[in-house]
Amino acid sequence: MTKPILLDAPNLGELEKKYLIECIDSTFVSSVGKNIDIFENKFAQYLKAKRAVSTQSGTAAIHLALYELGIGPGDEVIVPVITFIATVNPIKYVGATPVFADVDPETWNIDPKEIENHITERTKAIIPVHLYGNPCDMDKIMEISKKYNIPVIEDATESLGATYKGQFTGTFGELNAFSFNGNKIMTTGGGGMIVTNDENKADHLKFLVNQARDSSKGYYHPEIGFNYRMTNLEASLGLAQFERLPEFLSKKRKFAEIYKEGFKNNDKIIFQKSYAGAESSYWLTSIKIESNKSIPEIQEELKEKGIPTRRVFMPIVEFPPYKEYKKEEYKNAYEIYEKGLNLPGSTVNNYEQVEYI
């Protein structure tokens, strides 16, 4: 192979340089600048949502969503036991209690039956995670939300461009979070976004991210706010990446096709499946491997062949701050962790490299 295979590196080029140089030349590189509003508006239009509010990260977006819904001490929030830690930490930021649910063995996403089994009178939110870009069963989750009057906050940080029955992920819940970290489908370097159809909540969130400053009175702050603003520099990079989003999604989906074709006769390789009517963004194509070798052993052999991989997320209840919340076996999650592997998905890679993998 002439160039290295990359796991999840960002795809940056001349368009990004152009937008960034224009931003630098304008001198509006911080939290004032036209590109922030332009980026938010284009993002909302793409998703067919009413509003998008930019943040400093996907973590900040989840934190603000919980805060805006008034969730705090004594409240419970149901989350999948397999996800990135950033889904769960914000629950602790607001003083609430995470309640972990097992995942579906085929899609690896939170099992709606398990959500319902964990609802109590203290449940104040459900956070489904579209793991690795693969949409959750949003029909059943929204039915549960309506039945018990519990709001949904979608963690769509890995699933930009994914759809469930024709509707984009990150548009089903009351407040929904996206991430533009360097390894995501598109990047602003850091950065995130809250998407909602509630205009009043969007206005208040926009106010909160800027230290809750009432600029009509100068530096006047009528409530506690956050320094969670996206910069104009980041938004400029986001606008360039956003123009290329169709290219990125098309390439990731083609990678998934190549992987599936390559392994179609191998019964030891089991792909993360999608629900009927769901189309993954394939942030990372993910598999389970039935083997006598451990995942670290397999990773080491692949590394020697120039193929970087990543283990599936460890169940959150294995981490010291969350061990006390382990209330059951989470059989499906642990099996996925023991056998799961993420394959290279960076759009810097080419199709020949994926064939090689």
Q: Which are the catalytic amino acids?
A: 184
Residue in this structure with the two tokens 């059943």, named with its chain if needed: 140
Residue 51: phi and psi, rounded to 5, are -145, 150
Sort 219 into a burial class: Cβ within 10 Å, 0-12 / 13-18 / 19+.
exposed
Residue 46: phi and psi, rounded to 5, are -60, -45
Residue in this structure with the two tokens 């169940």, named with its chain if needed: 315
Residue 195: phi and psi, rounded to 5, are -115, 135
In angstroms, the CA 102 to CA 233 distance is 40
Q: How many CB atoms lie within 10 A of CB 347?
A: 21
The answer to whether the CB of 191 falls within 8 A of the CB of 180 is: yes
In angstroms, the CA 136 to CA 117 distance is 17
